[in-house]
Amino acid sequence: MAFRAQQRGSALSDWNTWSPKCRWSGVICSASGTVRELALDRKGLTGTLPREWSLLTGLTSLHMYENNLRGILPGEWSTLIQLSDLDLDDNQLSGTLPLQWSNLRSITAMSMKGNLLFGALPSQWSALRSMTQMYLFNNRLGGMLPPQWSTLWRISRISLRNNSFIGTLPRQWSALQSVTGIWLHRNELSGTLPREWSSLRNALLIRLEDNSFSGTLPHQWSALRSLVILYLNGNSLAGMLPPAWSTLQSLNQLQLNANELVWSLPRQWSALMSLTHISLNDNSFTGTLPPQWSRIRSISKMHLSGNSLIGTLPLQWSAFRSLTELKLDGNSLSGTLPATWSTLRSVSIMHLQENSISGTLPWAWSFLQSVTEMLMEDNRLTGTLPRAWSTMTRIIHLDLDDNNFVGTLPQQWSTFWNIVLMHIDDNSLSGSLPRRWSALRSVREINLDENDFSGTLPREWSTFRWLTHMNLDDNGFTGTLPREWSALRSINYMFFDDNELSGSLPPEWSTFRGIISMNANDNKITGILPSTWSTFQGVDRMYLYDNGIYGPLPRTWSALRALTQLSLKNNVIYGTLPAQWSVLQNLKRLWIYSNRIFGNLPEEWSALTNIDRLSLSDNMIAGTLPQEWSNFQTINGMWLDRNNLGGLLPVEWSALRSIENLYFLSCPFDFALGIK
């Protein structure tokens, strides 16, 4: 009843002194009235574990998982000698594992995952010879793995992952002949993989990833003929892949990525007929892709990226009819894309980027109609974009940038209804942007920069309602900025600098309320700066320089409170510097040089305390230097040369300790000019 008193609300409300305990919720008794089981999981229980329950010596099962229990594990429970099943998962229990619990000789299953337990694993628990399952993962346990636990002969599954264990894997654990699953990943274990563990003949799963193991892969582990899953990724293992492991006929998943493995991929592994997942990425493998691996007909996912593999893509791999993921990126592969791979009808993800693959895109790959990701950037591919690929209607991510493609964008690709990311920048593509691509209603990013496109920007693309990134810079686009694009209300990044665009900045684009960065520099844009763009309240950077923009600086832009960089240099802007801009306190860099600004330097701008670079040179600004600008404590450079400023340099400016560049050239001062 003391435990009942710790509860809040209706939890255990029927535990009272006037009703028999065998009728209490969660209490199961034997025919003689002995409490045999407590099923108290998921009841919102609070408080600590009652020491008094040590008197329930007939208890065989205790489940209290997924509550809010705290405190320590009672050592007094060592009297529960008939207890076979203990589950205290997902509470807030703390403290160490009680040495006294080595007396629980009947226990077969113990689970205390997801708590705050700390300390070492008691070597005394080697006496728990009936144990078949132990789950202590997601705690704060540490110390070394006890060699003494080699006496837990009946244990089948042991999970100690996500703790802070150190030291080596005990070779004595090779005596755990009943073990089928070992989870020791995400700890701080080190040393080598024990060759003695080759005696774990019943092991189906071994997970040792994300530790600090070193040394080589033991060829003796070829004896683990029952092994289905082996994860050793994220360690410091070195040496070569053992050809002897070709005997692991039951192996289904093998992860060795992010190690220091070297040498070539063993052709003998073509005997791993049950293999569906192999991950060898981010090592230092060399040599070629083994054609013999085409015999592994069950393979579904093959990840070999981030190595130093060379040679061509094997024609024989067209036999991988079950393949769904192929990642070969970040190697030194060469040759052409095999047209015979058009048989890979199940492939969904194909990553071939960052290699030296040449030749054209095979039209036959139009049969790869399950593809969702096709990444081929940074290769040496040439030719035109195949119209036949319009059959890849499931494609979500297409990346062809940094190649040598020529020709036009295929109108037929308007069937890419599911495409989200399309990157075809840094090629030699030409022609106009296809109006029919307005059907790409799911697109979020479209990068076509650094090509030779021409023509006007299609107003029909206003259908891209989910578009967040558009990069069209460094092309030859002409015409005006489409006011219809005001419908692109999700846009965050828009770049169309280095083109031949003309006309004015559309006031209608005030709908771009989520815009973060906009570049329209190096065009032939004219007209005024739209005061309506004051709605860009999240904009961080705006580059509009090297155009023919005229008119005043909009006072309303004082609403652009997130702005850090603004460049309006080399335009025809006139009028005064708005005092209202003094509220732009995140502004770090402001370039307005080479315009026709007149009037005085606003003393109110002294509030721009984060300004780093301020360039107002080559204007018609007059008056004196505001002493209040001594507040620019972070300023590195200030360019005020080629104006009509006069007077004295304010003595207060001696506080500008961060400044390295200060220019007044061609201003009528009476002191040394070009100060640096």
The model's pLDDT over 109-137, given as tens digits with 9 standing for 90+, comes to: 999 999 999 999 999 999 999 999 999 99
End-to-end CA distance of the chain: 82
Contact 169, 193 (CB under 8 A): yes
∠ CA 608-609-610 to the nearest 5 degrees?
Answer: 95
Contact 595, 617 (CB under 8 A): no
Residue 102 located in a structural domain:
yes
DSSP-assigned letters across all residues of 615-650? E--SSEEEE---GGGGG-TT--EEE--SSEE-S---
Contact 261, 238 (CB under 8 A): yes
Using 50 as the pLDDT threshold, list the residues of the chain that sit under it.
Answer: 670-676
The radius of gyration computed from the CA coordinates of the chain, to the nearest angstrom, equals 35
Residue 488 located in a structural domain:
no
Contact 394, 371 (CB under 8 A): yes
Q: To the nearest whole percent, how much of the chain has pLDDT over 70?
A: 98
Q: Which two tokens stand for residue 77?
A: 């429970």
Contact 281, 303 (CB under 8 A): yes
Contact 317, 292 (CB under 8 A): no
Q: Which two tokens stand for residue 354?
A: 């960052």
3 state SS of 559: helix
Residue 333 located in a structural domain:
no
Containing 517, the helix (H) or strand (E) segment is strand 517-519
The closest of 612, 666, 671 to 647, measured between CA atoms, is 671
Ordered strands of the 430-431 beta sheet: 430-431, 452-455, 476-477
Contact 336, 357 (CB under 8 A): yes
Domain holding 132, by residue range, is 1-153
Count of CB atoms situated within 10 Å of the CB of 505: 21
Residue 281 located in a structural domain:
no
Positive or negative torsion for Cα 225, 226, 228, 229: negative
Rounded CA-CA distance 661/500 in Å is: 34
Residue type, 52: E
3 state SS of 40: coil
Taken as a whole, the chain contains a residue count of 676
Positive or negative torsion for Cα 463, 465, 467, 468: positive
Look at residue 672 in the predicted model and tell me its pLDDT. 40
pTM surpassing 0.75? yes
Instruction: Give the number of domains in the chain.
Output: 1
Residue 159 located in a structural domain:
no
CB crowding 549-582: b at 16 or more within 10 Å, else e: bbbebbebbbbbeebbbbbbbbbebbbebbbbbb
Look at residue 673 in the predicted model and tell me its pLDDT. 37
Positive or negative torsion for Cα 361, 362, 364, 369: negative
List Cβ neighbours of 5 (8 Å cut-off, separation of 6 or more). none
∠ CA 69-72-77 to the nearest 5 degrees?
Answer: 100
Q: Which two tokens stand for residue 393?
A: 């209607």
Residue 75 located in a structural domain:
yes
Count of CB atoms situated within 10 Å of the CB of 595: 24
Question: In DSSP terms, which residues pair with 430 in a beta bridge?
Answer: 452
Contact 89, 111 (CB under 8 A): yes
Per residue, what are the HEC states of 144-205?
A: ECCHHHHHCCCCCEEECCCCEEECCCCHHHHHCCCCCEEECCCCCCEECCCHHHHHCCCCCE
Rounded CA-CA distance 522/227 in Å is: 62
Residue 594 located in a structural domain:
no
Return the CATH number at 94.
3.80.10.10
Rounded CA-CA distance 72/115 in Å is: 11
Q: What is the mean pLDDT of the chain?
A: 96
Rounded CA-CA distance 210/234 in Å is: 4
Q: Which two tokens stand for residue 445?
A: 């990013």
Contact 200, 227 (CB under 8 A): no
Residue 8 located in a structural domain:
yes
Main-chain dihedrals φ then ψ at residue 504, nearest 5 degrees: -105, 165
Residue type, 389: W
User: Strands 118-119, 140-144: parallel, antiparallel or unpaired by DSSP?
Assistant: parallel
Which DSSP category does 59 fall into? -
Positive or negative torsion for Cα 494, 500, 505, 509: negative
Rounded CA-CA distance 513/444 in Å is: 16
Residue type, 615: S
Contact 365, 387 (CB under 8 A): no
